[in-house]
Structure 1
Amino acid sequence: MALEIKQKGKVYDVCIVGSGAGGGMAAKVLSEAGLKVALLEAGPKYDPADPEQATQLKWPWQSPRRGASTTRPFGDFDAAYGGWEIDGEPYTTKNGTSFDWFRSRMVGGRTNHWGRISLRFGPRDFKHKSVDGHGDDWPISYDDVKPYYDRVDKMIGVFGSKEGIFNEPDGYFLPPPKPRLHELMIKQAGDRLNIPVIPARLSILTRSVNKDRAPCFFCSQCNRGCTVYGDFSSSSCLVKPAVKTGHVDLYTGAMVREVLTDDSGKATGVSYVDKTDLQEYEVKARVVVLAASACESARLLLNSKSPRFSNGLANGSGVVGKYLHDSTGASRGGFIPKLMDRKRYNEDGVGGMHVYIPWWLDNKKLDFARGYHVELGGGMHMPMYGFGFGMERLNGKYGGADGKMKDAGGYGAGLKNDYRRFFGATIGFAGRGECIAREDNYCEIDPSVVDKFGIPVLRFNYTWSEHEINQAKHMQDTFEQLIHEMGGIALGEKAGADTMYGLETPGRIIHEVGTTRMGDDPKRSVVNKFNQAHEVKNLFIVDGGPFVSQADKNPTWTILALSLRASEYIVSELKKQNI
């Protein structure tokens, strides 16, 4: 604790830490209910329509860092302020394991640049232990969450198609965009291999859902932030309308240190370091909502120690930080000769895939317990830094229009002509699968390292099991099957057992969840089925931390649905004077 904490005079109904998907939804719901809300964000304000911040529709050579080898993880124009490494905010690992932790310090958090893949968890995803015996069941079912998924669909907007697949629940969909040429070819190959290829489900507007947001104009740059708010970002779709209610005070540059409690163990607010003056302040509130991301919220709880909570706040179970898990990820590229020598036309579309592959097999017949979906890339998008065609990976030769082989590469006019011929002829497959949550994958407080604000940092311990490794092998086999069925050539060497079949480093997919798990038993979980801490009734957690299991889907739509559910529960409990 700092020697002096400067107190803000105002006492709020609710203090929310973090403005991403969970925090943004909570701010919107609670402020519209008339509650006075303090919304704390560690980074600056962000509005993709602000000319000072907008990067959409800029040419590559307009980068202020032109000529430099970029250190930004997703390109110089990406909307995320942050990355896996942030100056002055380290984290550590132990036991020789690896974990990469992505943080986006800004209003809206990581929702400003994500792929907008907006998938509901299915009935099996909430009850996997009952299906395969691994992990734990959630204390809630799909039927409990379905009404909130429905409302999120209508509130934010998601395109897709009704397919009637049991564990890929349909929703309230806007019309999906038409597939691009390479996607049609993947669909044809999938049909021949009995692999389903269906319209993607992305939270991008193909028609308006309210007067404040215009539909997508197909520039394919959602990761840069949308100037017309045509895609979902918490900053524009949740925080902006919440602030408009007049019931939200937005604190930016507020690096929260800990949750404060009174002698009875009740949360009284939070303390934070103001990044502008490096002084510590306190915000008081009747209810505290953590939405700082799964790992950051766990860090806050573990750093919030007191005589009553010597092991960290709400951690009587000892599982805060444990059961950490991220989506699996493996990828492969392919060269498709049939896509060479194409006439140039606008193939941008939305900022993401128009079709995808949902999980289609029975795990009981496989050597791994959980499934994966496949994300697809390709097309004639605007070249970016590092853009290439893979010619060097085709043994220096490729097929010409006359069927003869010719050398690839060179310089001058010949090289430019080769680039034109190859443009749009490569495709990419990325598997994103479910990891089984295990207690021995965790984050904890490093006993000897603090960040530049003097706050103890996290230390990670994480390994993949045979289930995830075998799943990655299956992904690679599937990618090769599809590429060959399309008449293509898989690029690079196929990943083998020595690299765990190309399985990405844990944390690299940026879907980490599970550190403050939900459950009915306070001895084995942190929050109850309403995201309420068992031991601190006026403390709620609405990011990915409460997830019992991940599913083979992106977590954002479930974070939004559960935050909506928890926020309305907070309103109800406050009215009943139960918290």
Structure 2
Amino acid sequence: MQIKVAPELYDVIIVGSGAGGGMAAKQLADAGLNVAIVEAGPFFDPADPKTMTQLKWPYESPNRGAGTTRPFGGWDMAYGGWEIEGEPYTHEPGTKFDWFRSHMLGGRTNHWGRISLRFGPKDFKGKTRDGHGEDWPIGYEDVKPYYDKVDKLIGVFGTNEGLENDPDGFFLPPPKPRLHELFYIDGAKKTGVPVIPGRLSMLTKRINNERGVCFYCGQCSRSCSVYADFSSGSCLIFPAQKSGGRIKIFVNSVVREVTTDDEGKATGVSYISKDDRKEYKLKGKVVVLAASACSSARILLNSKSKHHPNGLGNSSDHVGKYLHDSTGASRSAFIPGLMNRKVTYNEDGTGGMHVYSPWWGDNDKLDFPRGYHIEIGGGMRQPNYGFGFNTNEFNKFFGLNVGGYGDVLRDDVKKYYGSVIQMAGRGEGIARKENYCEIDPTTVDKFGIPVLKFKYKWSDLEIKQAKHMQDTFEEIIHNMGGEPLGDKPTADMDYGLLAPGRIIHEVGTTRMGNDPKTSVTNKFNQLHDVDNVFIVDAGPFTSQADKNCTWTILALSWRASDYIIEQLKQQNI
């Protein structure tokens, strides 16, 4: 088969357009470099009337917004999901790992929760702290200048609290707590759990002329038509293009491999076009992988050659190893004090939590390392089909006769809607070599590209952490005067711990380190084996934290981009 090779030589080819890819594109293009972005999905602009789904009524969404057309329902802007037709992945026996992929310009940043937390000083030195995992080759002091820059460029609301491992930043004014959050604050404080304003990348104050300010429509999961929340396309790629950045975007293009020359150095990428199913090649001086931790590992493992028989950057046999996701468990409760509410003002707020609980525990007194934070849900947002008012649960657990049709249903909705609170723990799992992804030698996708096989299992440490979550939730519910919905998850249910991959925070597959024998990238996200290939998604994370990973992806991508610019100027790569 003849492969068409584009004649242009790009300074940098970036694979993926999410948080890491978008940040790299902006910094490199702003520096005057000629950049190509290769994205597996279609073009997407939330402000385009043709694709805009924000500010629509539930009856304008397929199935009234029920979760059958997209993985998170019609109220969510995600092209992809845990299962994509024709693009499978496989498992080792006994493994449960769900791999979420978002194929669209901007990737997962179009529909994430915008929870924008910095890692703290302790998070970079896990082994020193408790003996588990490995320390990062960098510390908080190396990343702090870039966290500061990300805060100022993108915008994040919050407050400076002086917490040791939840670092302060440059914050916009936070929105006030809503009624259900005031109940949570009261219940959590009685348990000794701290509550502070949320830290979300949504603009509560104008920061430039290109982006609007949040007007509390509560539909951030659809991506914002006025660019008030952070998405990679609207906040990084589009501004770089408008300011003269030389960026060419190749959409619907699935990268097969990184191509190399006779010396083993990267020369570009090979991709399959979804439009005609033909293979094409792009040439570049530098290749930046930002396809997501597992996708970038897959590309490297499929990039075999004479110099790289085990896959590109894989002389250590560590590509794909140390895969780990955030832990996650949750609980819902009925709060009688929130019944029969008179709605006298608009309390929709942002499309996310206005307050949250950072980790507070003393691990010396606990039976697990690290920790978790608590996210809060609830309130009176506009309902859609299946909006959380489960009449069967109310009737089962409280002996109520709720629901029905017509006026009876309308009366009950007014009586009970907004009276349910959800709490979700999001914590740190320990990175282990035995949790990994690799190429399945027997299976290819519809483009003929070998797929990933996963092997993953939670340890007792993560399960004990989930038990602590459930015990904490129960105590807070009691303090709120509430009643849990459903039975408390038990040991045989791993205390409600979700399957790995379900929190969509997978990291660590191309982890950074100083020793090329036990890591894939160096402290600047550069492959040890090939100096003109960089990874700027969450793959290089040496460990996860009890925080969401996006803000650290952005900071490390900016840091790596500065290093690329410097190395190109010095003609070192």
TM-score under structure 1 length normalisation: 0.97
TM-aligned CA deviation for residue 242 of structure 1:
2.1
In 2, the alpha carbon distance for the partners of 1:397 and 1:108 equals 42
Instruction: Say yes or no: does 1:95 pair with 2:89.
Output: no
Aligned to 2:482: 488
Aligned mates of 1:388, 1:120 — CA distance in 2: 31
Query: Which residue in the other structure is 2:267 paired with?
Result: 268
Aligned partners of 2:71 and 2:78 also within 8 Å: no
Deviation per CA, 1:60-92: give whole Å up to 9, x if none: 110144598714111113111111011111101
Aligned length: 571
Q: 1:550 to 1:455 in 2, by over 3 A?
A: same
The residue aligned with 1:461 is: 455
Match of 1:14 among 6, 9, 12: 12
CA distance in 2, matches of 1:454, 1:40: 18
| Deviation of 1:393 (Å) | 2.7
Q: In the alignment, is the contact (CA less than 8 A) between 2:437 and 2:454 conserved in 1?
A: yes
The residue that corresponds to 1:376 in the other structure is 376
Partner of 2:190: 192
Preserved CA contact (<8 Å) 2:257 2:269: yes
Per-residue deviation at 1:391? 4.1
Q: 1:201 aligns with which of 179, 199, 207?
A: 199
Alignment match, 1:317: 316
User: Is the contact made by 1:329 and 1:509 (CA closer than 8 Å) also made in structure 2?
Assistant: yes
Q: Which residue of 2 aligns with 1:132?
A: 130
SS in 2 for 1:89: coil
Alignment counterpart, residue 435 of structure 1, candidates 429, 440, 443 = 429
Matches of residues 403-422 of structure 1 in structure 2 within 5 Å?
407-422=401-416
TM-superposition CA deviations, 1:324-361 (whole Å, max 9, x none): 00000000000000000001242210010000000001
What residue is the counterpart of 1:362 in the other structure? 362
5 Å-filtered alignment, 1:239-258, equals: 239-244=237-242, 245-258=244-257
2:152 maps to 154
Say if 2:62 and 2:69, in contact at 8 Å, map to a contact too.
no
Distance in 2 of aligned mates of 1:110 and 1:64: 21
Mapped pair 1:538 → 2:545: no
Q: CA deviation at 1:388?
A: 3.5
For 1:389-408, list aligned pairs within 5 A: 389-396=389-396, 407-408=401-402
> Which amino acid in the other structure matches residue 217 of structure 1?
F
Q: Secondary structure at the match of 2:547?
A: coil
Partner of 2:544: 550
Give the 3 Å change call, closer, same or farther, for CA 69–556 of structure 1 in structure 2: closer
Q: Secondary structure at the match of 1:545?
A: coil
Q: Distance in 2 between matches of 1:388 and 1:134?
A: 39
CA–CA distance in 2 between the matches of 1:369 and 1:74?
A: 31
Paired position in structure 2 for 1:77: 75
8 A Cα contact 2:293 2:537, kept in partner:
yes
In the alignment, is the contact (CA less than 8 A) between 2:116 and 2:199 conserved in 1?
yes
Contact kept in structure 1, 2:397 and 2:485, CA below 8 Å? no
The verdict on how the C-alpha distance between 1:100 and 1:396 changes in structure 2, with shifts beyond 3 A counting, is: closer
SS at match of 2:341: coil
Superposition CA RMSD, Å: 1.3
Instruction: Tell me if the contact between 1:75 and 1:385 (Cα under 8 Å) persists in the aligned partners.
Output: no
1:444–1:481 distance in 2 versus 1, CA, 3 Å: same
Rounded Cα–Cα distance in structure 2 between residues aligned with 1:34 and 1:393: 58
**Equivalent position to 2:571, from 547, 557, 577:** 577
Alignment partner, residue 116 of structure 2: 118
Paired residue for 1:183?
181
User: Is 1:20–1:234's contact at 8 Å kept on the other side of the alignment?
Assistant: yes
Q: Partners in 1 of 2:572 and 2:444 — Cα distance?
A: 37
Measured in 1, the distance between the counterparts of 2:395 and 2:62 equals 37
Give the stretch that moved more between structures: 340-349 or 421-430: 340-349
Secondary structure in structure 1 of the residue aligned to 2:32: coil
CA contact (8 A) 1:390 1:491 kept: no
> What secondary structure is seen at the aligned counterpart in 2 of 1:567?
helix
Aligned partner letter, 2:251: T
SS across alignment from 2:21: helix
The residue aligned with 2:218 is 220
Q: Which amino acid aligns with 1:545?
A: G
Distance 1:217 1:353 in 2: 15
Task: Tell me by how many angstroms 1:55 deviates.
Answer: 0.6
Once the two structures are TM-superposed, the CA of residue 300 in structure 1 deviates from its matched residue by 0.2
Shift of 1:133: 0.1
Task: Render the CA deviation track for 1:190-219: whole Å, top value 9, x for unaligned.
Answer: 222211010000000000111100110111
**More moved, 68-77 vs 515-524:** 68-77
Measure, in 2, the Cα distance between the counterparts of 1:572 and 1:412: 67
Q: CA deviation at 1:257?
A: 0.3
Q: Please name the residue that 1:173 is paired with.
A: 171
Which of 224, 228, 248 is the equivalent residue of 1:230? Answer: 228
Partners of 2:120 and 2:140 within 8 A in 1: yes
Cα distance in structure 2, aligned partners of 1:378 and 1:48 = 26
SS at match of 2:77: coil
TM-aligned CA deviation for residue 412 of structure 1: 3.6
Amino acid at match of 1:61: Y
Q: Does the aligned pair in 2 maintain the 1:200–1:354 contact within 8 Å?
A: yes
State whether residues 243 and 249 of structure 1, in contact with CA within 8 Å, keep that contact through their aligned partners in structure 2.
no
Give unpaired runs (5+ residues) of structure 2. Answer: none
Distance 1:96 1:385 in 2: 35
1:486 Cα shift? 0.3
Deviation at 1:152, TM superposition (A): 0.2
2-structure distance, mates of 1:489, 1:66: 29
- Kindly provide the CA deviation profile for residues 420-468 of structure 1, in whole angstroms up to 9, marking residues without a partner as x: 1001000000000000000000000000100010000000000000010
- 8 Å CA contact 2:65–2:385 kept in 1: the answer is no
In the alignment, which residue of structure 2 is the partner of 1:401?
none
Q: 1-side partners of 2:75 and 2:413: how far apart? A: 24
Change (3 A) 1:99 1:396: closer
Aligned-partner residue type, residue 122 of structure 1: G
Q: 1:363 to 1:69 in 2, by over 3 A?
A: closer
| Preserved contact between residue 327 and residue 432 of structure 1 (Cα < 8 Å) | yes
Q: For 2:330, what is the secondary structure of its paired residue?
A: strand
Hey, what does 1:143 align to over in structure 2? 141
Structure 2 CA distance for aligned equivalents of residues 486 and 260 of structure 1? 59
- Cα 1:57–1:279 change in 2 (3 A) is same
Q: Give the letter aligned to residue 392 of structure 2.
A: E
Letter in 1 for 2:118: R
1:501 equivalent to 2:457? Answer no
Aligned-residue offset at 1:564: 0.1
CA contact (8 A) 1:12 1:37 kept: yes
Q: Could you say which residue in structure 2 is the equivalent of 1:402?
A: none
The separation in 2 between residues aligned to 1:292 and 1:413, in whole angstroms, is 51
Paired amino acid for 1:31 = A
SS of the counterpart of 2:201? coil
Q: Letter of the 1:149 partner, please give it.
A: Y
Asked whether the equivalents of residues 243 and 250 of structure 1 are also in contact (C-alpha less than 8 Å), the reply is no
Give, in whole Å, the separation in 2 of the partners of 1:124 and 1:246: 37
Aligned to 2:337, the other structure's residue is in SS state helix
Which one of 413, 417, 422 corresponds to residue 423 of structure 1? 417
- Aligned residue for 1:407, secondary structure, equals coil
The Cα of 1:246 is off from its aligned counterpart by 4.0
Measured in 2, the distance between the counterparts of 1:76 and 1:198 equals 31
Contact kept? 1:518, 1:527, Cα under 8 Å = yes
Give the letter aligned to residue 437 of structure 1: A
- Letter of the 2:504 partner, please give it: I
Q: Is the 8 A contact 2:99 2:504 kept in 1?
A: yes
Change (3 A) 1:66 1:349: closer
